[in-house]
A and B are shown apart, each in its own frame.
Chain A
């Protein structure tokens, strides 16, 4: 018995050590590959995410990078990596520094005092064209993904985003306005264009966006990932009704696909479980410009299943839940509208 206890103690100790080793001394490069490279590319050229060029890294502090990873850009594809440890986030920042061969700049701690009202006038004159009236950037889309047309090579930063405003210091904002960003064609407004005080006024105006933050509507606590309805009709009638309702709502219907199709031989497949797939290409194209990763859910499918007891169920993904997984406010708005369409169709079918 004593021997067993010792054995268990050793096992616990080994697991604790192994667990500690797995989490200690995180490797920034590996963390970057796993969590960042898909959007920003390995060399920081950007894709779905914005580019991370050396010129930009020279202008930003480690604290800005740390907070950007930690807070993300709510509603703008860049997720908040809140489950990483501080050591892991620091390791990513360190890796970015090493890869870019940049050193952290230092900025004055002196507070910047500006007149936001004056800044608003200057903003309308110099900034609104790219950053938009609300500071949210160009509008649809993100990053530099080449296959989607846009009027700027890089989407202008959303300078009203809460993640951005919590990450950046006033002196950093001042610096960026003063020297510009060659990497994204943002012009320099120092060197005679704007006086230092005028830049301070702009900083005060940008900071004022903090007071206009609008939080995305939270999900109701009883929200489920799928809507399940019981059909009052038999399986074949339900399938026909779904197709008729989709056609009436201007969706194109694809050939039927059985839920088990392709996973088992054609003689064993359950033919009483079917996915009715549909699409409106105009809507799909618009959504892909907003969220290129849409394919991970392809939500336009109503699954119809006949149960062993003869009841027929309809299942349709709850777009309010699904859209929140993308951290993309534009998509949330689009899918909240589409959710109404889906529910209307199902209600029509099950009347």
Chain B
């Protein structure tokens, strides 16, 4: 039985890779609601996916303090303590990329959400543990963005 299971594992892998074949270096979503409200949805969705919001950086306020004009621009930092500790202990080369970040950018009455696709880091790490971790983050981020799209009536039925 084990032999047979091993023989179908490559098929499973191929199937999963097919589903992720659209990966881009940047994951983005447009939400038809004001950024202040969208930010609350972002925080809520992040927490529903099991992450903690570490802090929110007010990029727009910082620029305004120095006289630069900017619309609402926030960056939400989030993560899981177990994952961050795994990274800092075993893979310090990834530490610059944790906690994860979602940029919440106002475009008039709509909001643009952008996040670096963790799978952009895949080519740099051969360790299976890292590959799995990056894939899991990618999957969660896609799910978070899709949940936010769904909340505004723009869900992706094919993924549901």
Which residues does A use to contact B, with CB under 8 Å?
4-5, 8, 11-12, 15-16, 18-19, 22-23, 27, 30, 33-35, 37-39, 41-42, 47-48, 79, 81, 83-84, 88, 145-147, 149, 224-226, 228, 257, 259-264, 270, 273, 279, 281-282, 284-285, 288, 292-299, 301, 303, 305, 313, 315-317, 321, 325-327
A203 to chain B, nearest CB (A): 33
Q: Does B37 contact A (CB under 8 A)?
A: no
Q: Does B54 contact A (CB under 8 A)?
A: yes
Q: Does B151 contact A (CB under 8 A)?
A: no
Residues of B within 8 Å of A, CB-based: how many? Answer: 73
Q: Are A12 and B84 in contact (CB-based, < 8 A)?
A: no
Give the residue of A38, A42, A226, A263 whose beta carbon is less than 8 angstroms from that of B96.
A226
Q: Are A285 and B63 in contact (CB-based, < 8 A)?
A: yes
Q: Are B88 and A305 in contact (CB-based, < 8 A)?
A: yes
Q: Mark B146-158, 1 if CB is under 8 A from A, else 0.
A: 0001000010111
Other A-B pairs beyond A33-B149, A293-B105, 14, CB < 8 Å: A23-B18, A37-B30, A38-B29, A38-B112, A225-B94, A263-B52, A263-B84, A285-B70, A293-B26, A293-B114, A295-B74, A303-B96, A313-B92, A316-B96
B30 partner residues in chain A, CB cutoff 8 A:
37-38, 41-42, 47
Q: List 30 A-B contacts (CB under 8 A).
A: A11-B8, A37-B30, A38-B112, A38-B113, A39-B28, A42-B30, A79-B24, A84-B22, A88-B22, A145-B107, A146-B108, A225-B94, A225-B124, A226-B93, A228-B92, A257-B55, A263-B80, A281-B62, A281-B68, A285-B70, A293-B114, A294-B103, A296-B114, A296-B115, A298-B57, A298-B75, A299-B96, A305-B95, A315-B93, A315-B96
B108 partner residues in chain A, CB cutoff 8 A:
146
Q: Are A38 and B22 in contact (CB-based, < 8 A)?
A: no
Complexed CA–CA distance, A336 and B132 (Å): 31
Complexed CA–CA distance, A288 and B66 (Å): 15
Max chain B CB contacts within 10 Å: which of A11, A22, A263?
Answer: A263
Max chain A CB contacts within 10 Å: which of B22, B57, B62, B96?
Answer: B96
Given known contacts A225-B97, A260-B85, A79 and B1 CB-to-CB distance under 8 angstroms: no
Give the residue of A279, A284, A325 whose beta carbon is less than 8 angstroms from that of B120.
A325
Q: Are B95 and A285 in contact (CB-based, < 8 A)?
A: no
B116 partner residues in chain A, CB cutoff 8 A:
296-297, 325
Q: Are B114 and A263 in contact (CB-based, < 8 A)?
A: no
Q: Are A19 and B15 in contact (CB-based, < 8 A)?
A: yes
Q: Are B81 and A264 in contact (CB-based, < 8 A)?
A: yes
Q: Are B54 and A285 in contact (CB-based, < 8 A)?
A: no
Q: Does B135 contact A (CB under 8 A)?
A: no
Give the residue of B26, B79, B110 whose beta carbon is less than 8 angstroms from that of A263.
B79
Give the residue of B81, B95, B112 whose beta carbon is less than 8 angstroms from that of A303.
B95
Q: Are B81 and A8 in contact (CB-based, < 8 A)?
A: no
Q: 6 closest Cβ contacts across the A-B interface?
A: A262-B54, A295-B103, A38-B28, A147-B71, A325-B25, A317-B96
Given known contacts A146-B107, A262-B53, A225 and B93 CB-to-CB distance under 8 angstroms: yes
Give the residue of A41, A88, A284, A295 whose beta carbon is less than 8 angstroms from that of B110.
A41
Q: Closest chain B residue to A4 by CB distance?
A: B1
Which residues does B use to contact A, with CB under 8 Å?
1, 4, 7-8, 11-12, 14-15, 18-19, 21-26, 28-30, 32, 52-55, 57, 59, 62-63, 66, 68-71, 73-75, 77, 79-81, 84-85, 88, 92-99, 101-103, 105-108, 110, 112-117, 120-121, 124, 149, 154, 156-158
Complexed CA–CA distance, A33 and B31 (Å): 10
B156 partner residues in chain A, CB cutoff 8 A:
30, 33-34
Complexed CA–CA distance, A30 and B157 (Å): 8
Q: Are A273 and B96 in contact (CB-based, < 8 A)?
A: no
Given known contacts A15-B12, A79-B25, A145-B107, A38 and B114 CB-to-CB distance under 8 angstroms: yes
Q: Closest chain A residue to B71 by CB distance?
A: A147
B92 partner residues in chain A, CB cutoff 8 A:
226, 228, 305, 313, 315
Give the residue of B74, B80, B93 whose beta carbon is less than 8 angstroms from that of A224.
B93
A281 to chain B, nearest CB (A): 4
Complexed CA–CA distance, A261 and B57 (Å): 13
Q: Are B94 and A226 in contact (CB-based, < 8 A)?
A: yes
B52 partner residues in chain A, CB cutoff 8 A:
262-263
B113 partner residues in chain A, CB cutoff 8 A:
38
Complexed CA–CA distance, A11 and B54 (Å): 42
